[in-house]
Structure 1
Amino acid sequence: MDDDIWAHSANETGRRHGLAEHLRGTADRAGKFADVFQARAVAEYLALVHDVGKASCAWQDGLRKAQQHDGPVGIDHKGAGTLLASTRGLDVLSAVVLGHHGGLPSLTSLKEALRRATGRERAVVDEAIERASALVPEIASSPAPEWPAWTGGAASDDIEMLVRMVFSTVVDADFLDTEQHFADGRSRPPHPLLAAAMAERFEQGRAALLAGNDPSPVDEIRRAVYEQARAAAEGERGIYRFPAPTGAGKTLASGGFAFHHARAHGLRRVVVAVPFLSITDQNAGVFRRVLERDGEQPVVLEHHSGVEIDAPGGRGDLRAPTLPWQKLAAENWDSPFVVTTTVRLFESLFGRRPSAMRRLHRLAGSVIVLDEVQALPDAMLIPILSALRSLTDHFGASVLLASATQPTFWKLSPFKDVPLRDVIAEPERLYTDLRRVEYQWRVDPQPTAEEIAAEIAQERQVLAIVNTTRKAQELHELVTSEREQGPNSVFHLSTRMVALHRKQVLHDIKEKLHDDEPVAVVSTQLVEAGVDLDLPVVYRAKAPADSLQQAAGRCNRSGRLAVGKVVVFQMNDDESETKVYGQAAYASDCHIGEDRADPDDLKALDSYYTDRFTLKGVETTGREIQKYREKYDFPEVARRFKMIEEHTAPVVVPWGDERDQDRCLAAIHEIRRGVPYAGALLRELRPYMAAIPRGTARKAVDDGLAEPVIGDLIHWLGDYHPERGIELADSNTYIF
């Protein structure tokens, strides 16, 4: 009888998955994954016992019935393995077993589960352990697994990170072993390349890429920046700061640092995280051109956030069709180079669900490049920096913090005693050498919107950036009516346009700039970080120092002019700066302005960030999440950790030609039907998504201008302006 104990139902060939085979296969994988951070013993044992509860007669009967009716077993099986882990001295790590389907629990829930396992469920638990141990004797006979040596006396937030990383190894191993069974024994081979072996490939690809670029007056400075990044890569593993003004070649220099650092320390992968989807697409495209070769398996995995369905019950016992490399690799980041968003990275890192967390162990022994770190949310900085420190102190990772406006993170508690390693030896000199603009101020007296629009309309090539979508709409209308070159030379960019529309507009803008045609662009802040635009004149609505400098990075970017012009303005009817930026605006005014320092003054920037973090209570706010991390309350951490304040709702608009529109409508229909592949359809809809305020979305549904699709996603039925997208005359909510 014990020989017929199964872990999963039969695959397409009729073969069932033996429990012993599954436990040992999962343990072998998990142990190898955790070996990178010296936790092989605990990961192996937790994986070995994770499904012991399936050995009970009740669960085996349930599996047979479930297979007949093609449904779930519906019987909890986690108690036995949780109890075994606890009795082996694994303490809070026992939560890995308890949460391997539904998600990491709280410490209170773990204790309650152990009480049940030793109380009213004791008979079933003992039966499962006895039957499983007959098949896999090491379940009961093996000695207690040793914790990693560094855990002796470690801080509780470091132990909490260990739980997360071990959980990741176990659930990924569980997914992969189950997947292999349903693929009739065909295992998914690991990616053949590691980042440590790709430094020369990167050098060759970079040289080929640069050979095709037009020469620029700043090329020599970019070369010097790159050489400094390569030299810094030979340093010890840890946290590095990379301050580099826009136009310094930061993207390729970051990649050069990452791959040479990986080679120096034998690291497995490079993970680049950026704050905005527009930069994700752009950076992934650059690195594909540098790293990928025709006829070879892809190297660059682009994996970012969007609307997704993550079933709270975990994977279940489903048979999925074969999926392309991009989808499979995205599940667990099995690629030597990953481009993702900071939202995806950190909300996974502080989440609790298996499907999101299974990839986290790939961060161990990796180089993590955080681009545009000034965009990390202030309220989340303390847990973010604490996690980065844990990853570098105990999990073999290195972190590169890249930004033109480098925040004073080393003055915050998690980094106060972390060695400061700078990629650029003399940042002040670099900023002086790359200064390509002069600032002008139109803030006292404050001009009217009509006056600013008239100024902008007179410029042959100009970018104007405002703080809200409402102001972008208004200013675009005014500039269009004033501009002598005609409306075809005026463009609009905001999140009220679907992503594909914005992409097309950016392409058209770049074409006009390349052909030296007249062009005026009115945009929200979405163009500020990483979007590769280069105009001789930039108008920027008043904002904090980091936003002003990022905006200036779109002006005279390639240094072909003697000096570019950046005009900071504040219209007399515009209070958006304080409403959007709050205390950051006040902190900036103390140091940056017409009679004070310019936004690219590094000393003034340091003072601005220090005051901003103090005024916004960054330490106090961050301690709230840290408190729950120290209590091992994983659900509460996941609930409180939010990279983005959810003020907007995603809106799908069937945009484009007739074929695109039909495709959108068909996908919307299928999602509403509840098809099991809805997640894939949602990914297909991302190019057709815009964003509007949540309150406006609800009102639009009530008024018949939109209808629900799934979750907070709505289908827009109202008008869509061919230049500005969704127009909301009654909305005064601020969207970035």
Structure 2
Amino acid sequence: MSSEGPLWAHSINWRGERHRLDDHLRGTGERAREHAEAFGCGEAAEFLGLAHDVGKGGCAWQCGLLRAEQEGGRVGLDHKQAGTVLAAKHLPWQFAAVVHGHHGGLPAATDLKALIKDFRSNGAHLAEPINRIVDLIPELAPTTPPVLPDWLSSARSDTALADVDLLTRMLFSSVVDADFLDTADHFRGRPRPRVQAPAMAELRDRYELRRKELLAGRQPSPIDQLRTDVYDQAVTAATGLRGIYRLHVPTGGGKTISAGGYALHHAAAHGMRRVIVAVPFISITEQNADVYRRLLDPDGAGQPVVLEHHSSVDLDGTHGHWSRLAAENWDAPFVVTTTVQLFHSLFARTPSAMRKLHRLAGAVIVLDEVQALPDRLLTPILSALRGLVEHFGATVVLSSATQPELSAIPATRPIAGRTTNTLLADGMTHTLNEKLRRVRYEWRPDTTLAATAAEAATHPQTLTVVNTTKNANTVHRTLTALRPDAQPGEIMHLSTRMTGGHRRETIAAIRTRLAHGAPVTAVSTSLIEAGVDLDFPRLYRAWTLPESMLQAAGRCNRDGRLNGPGTVVIYDPTDGGQPFDRTYRLSMTTARRLFGPDLADPDNLDALAAYYRTRYRTQTGRHATDANGTTGETIEQLRTALDFPAVADAFQMIDDQSGSVVVIRTALAAPDQQALRDAIRVLRAGEPMGPETLRSLQAHTASIPLQELEAAINNRSALLITGDLYEWAGPYHPDRGIEPPAA
């Protein structure tokens, strides 16, 4: 092909237009600069965006693109080498990882260094594309290096080197998100409209107005004033400096609304960009997102403010570029997500997982139910959070009704000084805990699931919480057998084997029956324990960790409307299941020494603090390992070595992995079923799409253990959609969802 003709980045779109390479590089560079300005690296990110596809300027690649366009298939030629060499020439060589990994993922530093050395020695062929593109874009031959943060020059200690890891990730995120967006615009045939997000001050004011309207429209509760006191103190603290804060509010104290109020007031006070609320369970994202939507989303057809994102589907496995384009990039002012989704982004290495990471800069990050973070990963998690606060303009709120003693972890002691504070006045948490004590505990050692179900069935309104989805299935079957005369809706089941939409419908039905005094006997896994606003007079909780027992108790006499305390029965079933997590088993040993009959109740804050101190002293750092023997300290060492693949492999938030399946329930209306089929078809075909396609499937996705998913794939009950997302073609129970296989 003639060297004088235009150079192309992408093949023709639906309008018959190819994407000019110089337009793509400039478009990517411009967007990358916008993303990275929030952490002072706009110039460096723009340079890396300009350099990322320089290798496409070679004749071989250009011919390959035209051939692929005519014959189908892919170009099949590497195009990252030239840009990698160019990046290493004008920036510290470590940041060339951004260009080298912009399709396949961030490489290990040792591998990258060897590759750069090889490219420089044996890369005469790289001169052609580099010279061509530099002629088109002179900014790729700067006379001075692109500006990087001042703190980088003193990054010598292990702590500082971990922050270099974080900076590389943030630059990578800025560039790959910019690349995805610019590419998507080309294949759409037009730029995606850039919606101007409301200012944080506007959202703060809307939140305040609607909060007052919400409170005025609710039935008064004896503890309303306590909730107001908590909210007022949190909001008053919002003018404080950016940092790491603890919000310790007992169950029922209005933690969700107080955390949102603090975050919006703090963001408005400091000119911050967004609020990100991360919670450990999908059920909490669903409820919290609903609360925040009511308080923040515009009336009518305006642009939504609140984005709910909890899909953990891996889209790098199949269909290549277009599937990855569907991943969320958190371009919303208020995001509700899961801690798995948040920290997977922080410690992953692939473009689809990391494209949203740059949104954490200048954000208020609320970690709700922080006690649920895995012990073995606390060292790298807290290190990364500290880095976000110190170098990327973030504020972190550690929120919980059972606030863990993180200062007991040696690796976190630097956090416990200047940057960690409480949002509530000293002593207020203990006072609140006493005033919000609304239940009494009974203990049932050496019982069975059937005996517990039989006792629960004798009361008009009860909730029984179990430790596994199989136990939930068993108890629900037992209850229905005990109550053959039960009316529809009297016996309810909740677990992650149900789709998100199915769970929401069930929770709404339970809430309605409770409000009207109608009989309801519910069984649930722990998903109901945090963030789900239900109020039972009597509750049964299988023996578990004290923080979970206390969270469960928050669903009993929640609003303090009973004449006396509600009753929480802690039962210890001999036939009950337990999570397989090693940390859980070790923590249970500690818990049984401090809590139980003739010992402390779960709402004893002093006993809870002693439990956390013992647990963290014995189960963090070198003592806490996963199934492969990896510790948090190991991961932190890998971070300082910039070994991105090893970090991604080692950082697994969930030991017992589950698989995601999309269920088209027969209970759905026909148009809704067809919309799901259409979305599945688009994903299977790898057609151009935006994040709304995956988002539309979230409410229709259930989880099952990987072992069950593998069996379902083999017997054609689970059919591949894309990546590791499957369509469920097996039976789906109208009450229990996807049932576990018979024993």
SS at match of 2:154: coil
Q: Deviations over 1:546-602 (max 9, x none)?
A: 110010010011111231111111124336378883111111112222222211122
Instruction: Decide whether the 8 Å contact of 1:31 with 1:43 is kept in 2.
Output: yes
User: Residue 693 of structure 1 aligns with which residue?
Assistant: 705
Structure 1 residues 634, 483: CA separation in 2 closer, same or farther (over 3 Å shift)?
same
Query: Residues of 1 paired with 2:634 and 2:94: CA distance?
Result: 21
User: Residue 471 of structure 2 aligns with which residue?
Assistant: 471
User: Residue 24 of structure 1 aligns with which residue?
Assistant: 26
SS at match of 2:141: helix
SS at match of 1:458: coil
User: Residue 503 of structure 2 aligns with which residue?
Assistant: 502
Query: Residues of 2 paired with 1:484 and 1:708: CA distance?
Result: 36
Instruction: Decide whether the 8 Å contact of 1:34 with 1:361 is kept in 2.
Output: yes
From 591, 595, 598, the counterpart of 1:592: 595
SS at match of 1:463: strand
SS at match of 1:152: helix
From 666, 677, 681, the counterpart of 1:656: 666
User: Residue 64 of structure 2 aligns with which residue?
Assistant: 62
SS at match of 2:313: coil
From 431, 436, 453, the counterpart of 2:433: 431
Instruction: Decide whether the 8 Å contact of 1:172 with 1:358 is kept in 2.
Output: yes
Query: Residues of 1 paired with 2:679 and 2:193: CA distance?
Result: 32
From 275, 278, 282, the counterpart of 2:287: 282
User: Residue 582 of structure 1 aligns with which residue?
Assistant: 585
User: Residue 627 of structure 2 aligns with which residue?
Assistant: none
Query: Residues of 2 paired with 1:575 and 1:383: CA distance?
Result: 30
SS at match of 2:247: strand
Please list, as runs of the form range in 1=range in 2, the aligned pairs for 1:108-507 lying within 5 A after superposition. Answer: 108-120=110-122, 122-154=123-155, 155-183=160-188, 186=191, 188-293=193-298, 294-311=300-317, 315=321, 331-418=328-415, 419-425=419-425, 426-443=428-445, 446-482=446-482, 486=486, 488=488, 489-507=490-508
Q: Deviations over 1:397-436 (max 9, x none)?
A: 0011111111122222443122321012121111111111
Query: Residues of 2 paired with 1:554 and 1:286: CA distance?
Result: 17
User: Residue 33 of structure 1 aligns with which residue?
Assistant: 35
Residues 73-82 or 5-14, more deviating: 5-14
Structure 1 residues 450, 624: CA separation in 2 closer, same or farther (over 3 Å shift)?
same
SS at match of 1:144: coil
Determine if the alignment matches structure 1 residue 630 to structure 2 residue 640: yes
User: Residue 706 of structure 1 aligns with which residue?
Assistant: 717
From 1, 5, 8, the counterpart of 2:7: 5
Per-residue deviation, 1:665: 8.9
Instruction: Decide whether the 8 Å contact of 2:467 with 2:576 is kept in 1.
Output: no
Query: Residues of 2 paired with 1:508 and 1:428: CA distance?
Result: 35
Instruction: Decide whether the 8 Å contact of 1:472 with 1:524 is kept in 2.
Output: yes
Query: Residues of 2 paired with 1:94 and 1:313: CA distance?
Result: 26
Q: Deviations over 1:176-203 (max 9, x none)?
A: 3333444556353143323354211211
Per-residue deviation, 1:90: 1.7
Structure 1 residues 432, 476: CA separation in 2 closer, same or farther (over 3 Å shift)?
same
Instruction: Decide whether the 8 Å contact of 1:98 with 1:105 is kept in 2.
Output: yes
Structure 1 residues 87, 458: CA separation in 2 closer, same or farther (over 3 Å shift)?
same
Structure 1 residues 300, 139: CA separation in 2 closer, same or farther (over 3 Å shift)?
same
Query: Residues of 2 paired with 1:204 and 1:421: CA distance?
Result: 28
User: Residue 94 of structure 1 aligns with which residue?
Assistant: 96
Residues 220-229 or 417-426, more deviating: 417-426
Query: Residues of 2 paired with 1:716 and 1:335: CA distance?
Result: 31
Per-residue deviation, 1:92: 0.6
Per-residue deviation, 1:260: 0.5
Query: Residues of 2 paired with 1:12 and 1:520: CA distance?
Result: 55
Residues 126-135 or 715-724, more deviating: 715-724
Query: Residues of 1 paired with 2:717 and 2:606: CA distance?
Result: 49
Residues 276-285 or 14-23, more deviating: 14-23
Determine if the alignment matches structure 1 residue 546 to structure 2 residue 544: no
Structure 1 residues 50, 662: CA separation in 2 closer, same or farther (over 3 Å shift)?
closer
Structure 1 residues 244, 70: CA separation in 2 closer, same or farther (over 3 Å shift)?
same
SS at match of 1:115: helix
Query: Residues of 2 paired with 1:74 and 1:354: CA distance?
Result: 19
Instruction: Decide whether the 8 Å contact of 2:316 with 2:324 is kept in 1.
Output: no
Residues 673-682 or 549-558, more deviating: 673-682
Query: Residues of 1 paired with 2:334 and 2:14: CA distance?
Result: 34
SS at match of 2:402: coil
Residues 11-20 or 161-170, more deviating: 11-20
Residues 470-479 or 504-513, more deviating: 470-479
TM score, norm. by length of structure 1: 0.90
Number of aligned residues = 718
Query: Residues of 2 paired with 1:208 and 1:665: CA distance?
Result: 36
Structure 1 residues 574, 8: CA separation in 2 closer, same or farther (over 3 Å shift)?
closer
Structure 1 residues 313, 170: CA separation in 2 closer, same or farther (over 3 Å shift)?
farther
Query: Residues of 2 paired with 1:582 and 1:18: CA distance?
Result: 58
Query: Residues of 2 paired with 1:518 and 1:583: CA distance?
Result: 39
Per-residue deviation, 1:481: 4.1
Letter in 1 for 2:473: Q
Per-residue deviation, 1:626: 1.4
Query: Residues of 2 paired with 1:141 and 1:85: CA distance?
Result: 11
Instruction: Decide whether the 8 Å contact of 2:408 with 2:617 is kept in 1.
Output: no
Residues 536-545 or 296-305, more deviating: 296-305
User: Residue 323 of structure 1 aligns with which residue?
Assistant: none
SS at match of 1:302: strand
Query: Residues of 2 paired with 1:634 and 1:527: CA distance?
Result: 36
Q: Deviations over 1:287-319 (max 9, x none)?
A: 111112224222111222143523579637x99
Instruction: Decide whether the 8 Å contact of 1:59 with 1:75 is kept in 2.
Output: yes
From 614, 638, 649, the counterpart of 1:611: 614
User: Residue 740 of structure 2 aligns with which residue?
Assistant: 728
Instruction: Decide whether the 8 Å contact of 1:480 with 1:487 is kept in 2.
Output: no
Structure 1 residues 174, 478: CA separation in 2 closer, same or farther (over 3 Å shift)?
closer
Please list, as runs of the form range in 1=range in 2, the aligned pairs for 1:526-545 lying within 5 A after superposition. Answer: 526-545=527-546
Structure 1 residues 13, 658: CA separation in 2 closer, same or farther (over 3 Å shift)?
closer
Structure 1 residues 191, 415: CA separation in 2 closer, same or farther (over 3 Å shift)?
farther
Instruction: Decide whether the 8 Å contact of 1:196 with 1:268 is kept in 2.
Output: no
Which structure 1 residue ranges, 5 or more long, are not aligned? 321-326, 732-736
Query: Residues of 2 paired with 1:117 and 1:613: CA distance?
Result: 47
Q: Deviations over 1:485-512 (max 9, x none)?
A: 8364222222333333332222221111
Q: Deviations over 1:456-480 (max 9, x none)?
A: 1222211111112232233333334
Residues 580-589 or 220-229, more deviating: 580-589
Letter in 2 for 1:307: V
Structure 1 residues 312, 694: CA separation in 2 closer, same or farther (over 3 Å shift)?
closer
Residues 690-699 or 276-285, more deviating: 690-699
Query: Residues of 2 paired with 1:525 and 1:143: CA distance?
Result: 56
**C-alpha root-mean-square deviation of aligned residues, in Å?**
2.9
Per-residue deviation, 1:166: 0.8
Per-residue deviation, 1:147: 2.2
Instruction: Decide whether the 8 Å contact of 2:439 with 2:557 is kept in 1.
Output: yes
Instruction: Decide whether the 8 Å contact of 1:81 with 1:97 is kept in 2.
Output: yes
Instruction: Decide whether the 8 Å contact of 2:719 with 2:729 is kept in 1.
Output: no
Instruction: Decide whether the 8 Å contact of 2:95 with 2:168 is kept in 1.
Output: yes
Structure 1 residues 501, 312: CA separation in 2 closer, same or farther (over 3 Å shift)?
closer
